[in-house]
Amino acid sequence: MTREDDRTLSEALVAARDAGRQCVLATIVSTKGSTPRKVGARMLVDPDRGLVGTVGGGCGEAEVIESAHRVLETGVPERVRVDLTDDLLSWSPAVCGGIMDIFVEPVAPHDGS
């Protein structure tokens, strides 16, 4: 994640909190093998504004977005394991073949105090 990406995500996070919007932060906490993003990459899921940042795109990111919706409903953080090793049998030349663990946590809106 570049400094610019980090600043953009931080600004979006502050804007969502200040506007009182509940959102979810997904952070890659471990990787094994070849993965599209590395530890520390983050993505903000803001239901009213969309996504900021990325944890790798594709089907793995779709799994994280599904988890984010559950986290928004329950308020309970989740760990998502994105296993890209099964994709090695696909025809796609963009297959990575690694595994990422992503922590998906709710970010409470600013309470005004």
What's the rounded Cα separation, in Å, for the pair 79 and 22? 19
Q: Are 1 and 52 in contact (CB under 8 A)?
A: no
Q: What is the pLDDT of residue 95?
A: 61
Q: Are 108 and 22 in contact (CB under 8 A)?
A: yes
Q: What does the pLDDT look like over 1-44, one tens digit per residue?
A: 567 777 899 999 999 988 999 999 999 999 999 899 999 999 99
Q: What does the pLDDT look like over 78-109, one tens digit per residue?
A: 999 998 886 555 555 556 678 999 999 999 87
What's the token pair of residue 61?
């990111």
What is the residue extent of each domain of the chain? 3-107
Report the Cα 79 to chain-centroid distance in Å. Answer: 11
Q: Per-residue pLDDT averaged across 58-79, rounded?
A: 95
